[in-house]
A = this chain, B = another copy of it.
Amino acid sequence: MDRNFADELLDAIAEKGSPVCVGLDPVFEKLPETLRRDTPEEVEQVEMLEEFCEGVLEAVAPFVPAVKIQSAYFERYGPAGVGLYNRMIARAIDMDLLVIGDVKRNDIGPTAQAYAQGHLRALQTSIGPTPDVANAITVNGYFGADGLTPFIDMAAAESRGVFVLVRTSNPSAGQVQDFADANGSKLYEHVARLVARIGDGEGLIGESGYSCVGAVVGATWPDQARQLREIMPRQIFLVPGFGAQGATADDCAASFKADGTGAIVNSSRGVIFAFWQERFASVDWKQAVAVAAEEFAAQIRKAVFK
């Protein structure tokens, strides 16, 4: 049995001592005032974002095993923003952080394969492969198995991972995901069963017993998380929704097994924009982000290992 992305992630969690990741969701209007300047060229905001993202990575790296980089905030600036997205992946890997590329890609077979090539595989150059590839990405399962398989095959071949959206953390998630069949079984459970089945495929389970195919399960729905933990015993849960979106550390703990494995909790805004909190008014912004990351890691550690 080969080591897979889940093994790598569990090792990194053990090393840093807490199953958390920080979400890199940079927004120009929320940058520290010292980093922001007006410019008639909107694309120049990318340079300011770069300084901010570098600072955040340095501030959080001692406390968290992984970062989740949200592609949307980079795509917002077109190709220049995507360039920054890739540089930040390389930078985070350079700091020994695991990187989850939050891209939520999805399409039919051949097109899904092109996405998988773009996001889970290095480009070849005359001096070797490029270093700017995420260790795992998020994907959307609306197309069923043949839209997921190209991502999973690529992840397995490249020792990387995918997290399939099962139950998202937003208020209207239930409008689609709670659609129920005649037995009261809901769409998100149906998707979870599909993910569990596909994720059990040959060569996908690592030494730890977990698959390289994980699931996104929002922390804002702890009852569903407990139920999904039963349906998907071999999936690592990527858990968004802590803090700014309203979920508590105890809500997040619902996604873990009794031994404290099985999930990684994300916090984005609550950490990377912590310097806007009044208590940090006289503190350097990077210091504020570091303190918030350390507190976040401690809170989740305490809730999971109590």
Contact = CB atoms under 8 A, between A and B. Distances in A.
A41 B72 CA distance: 28
Given A82-B82, A146-B170, 17 more contacts: A25-B111, A40-B126, A41-B124, A41-B126, A42-B123, A70-B107, A70-B111, A77-B123, A104-B106, A106-B140, A142-B165, A142-B176, A142-B177, A144-B175, A145-B172, A145-B175, A146-B172
Nearest to A191: B176
A141 interface: yes
A161 interface: no
A181 B114 CA distance: 34
A109 interface: yes
A86 interface: yes
Given A125-B42, A179-B190, A111 B73 contact: yes
- Number of copies of chain A assembled together: 2
A187 to B, nearest CB: 6
A228 to B, nearest CB: 16
B108 A170 contact: yes
Nearest to A269: B110
A216 to B, nearest CB: 10
A25 B109 CA distance: 13
5 contacts: A108-B169, A143-B168, A176-B187, A176-B194, A180-B181
A124 B119 CA distance: 28
B123 A43 contact: yes
Contact of A168 (B42, B108, B171, B175): B108
Given A72-B112, A114-B72, A142 B125 contact: no
A76 interface: yes
A107 B168 CA distance: 9
Q: What is the size category of the interface that chain A forms with chain B?
A: 35 or more
A146 B117 CA distance: 30
A112 B171 CA distance: 14
Contacts of A114: 27, 70, 72-73, 75-76
Nearest 7 CB-CB pairings of A with B: A144-B175, A144-B172, A72-B114, A75-B118, A108-B170, A79-B83, A146-B172
Nearest to A166: B142
B147 A170 contact: yes
A42 B127 CA distance: 11
A52 to B, nearest CB: 15
A262 interface: no
Contacts of A143: 168, 170, 172-173, 176
